[in-house]
Amino acid sequence: MAEKVILSLKAEQNRYDILKYYFDETGGHKIPLQIFEQLNNALETISVFPYSGKIINKKGYHVFVTKPYNIIYRINDDTIEILHIWDTRQNPKNLPL
C-alpha cells in the first residue's frame, strides 16, 4: 500500500530551484518537464516501497537515488517526509543533515 508523501519546505525549494535552473538555462519547458517527471516517479516509488532507500544516518534518514539527484527522506508513522532533493554534483559538505 502506498504511503502518503509530504515534501518539506526545503524539499519544495530544492525542487523549485532545480526546475528553475534548467528552465533558465534552456529557455524551454522540455528538460524541466522531464526532470519533474523523473522526480515524481522517484517519489511514487518511495511511496510504494519506502524501505527501498538506504539508511544514511542514526536519525533513520533514507536516501533514494535517481541520478543525478538524491532524495533524502524519513519514514514517520503514517507519512514519508521528503527532507531534501539533493543534486549530487554539489559539494556534499553543504548537505545539511
Q: Mean pLDDT over residues 53-62, rounded?
A: 94
Q: Mean pLDDT over residues 31-45, rounded?
A: 98
Domain membership flag for residue 97: no
84 pLDDT more than 70: yes
Identity of the amino acid at 54: K
Pairwise CA distance, residues 51 & 58, whole Å: 15
Domain membership flag for residue 95: no
55 pLDDT more than 80: yes
The set of cell numbers assigned to 6 is 509530504
Task: Count structural domains, the chain.
Answer: 1
Domain membership flag for residue 96: no
What is the arrangement of strands in the sheet containing 62-66, beginning at the earlier edge strand? 4-7, 79-87, 69-75, 62-66, 54-55
Find the CATH number of the domain harbouring 67. 3.30.2310.20
Domain membership flag for residue 17: yes
Q: Is 34 helix (H, G, I), strand (E, B) or coil?
A: helix
Share of the chain above pLDDT 70, in %: 99
Domain membership flag for residue 45: yes
pTM exceeds 0.85: yes
Q: Which domain holds residue 44?
A: 4-89
Q: Mean pLDDT over residues 41-53, rounded?
A: 97
Domain membership flag for residue 14: yes
| DSSP run (H or E) holding 86 | strand 79-87
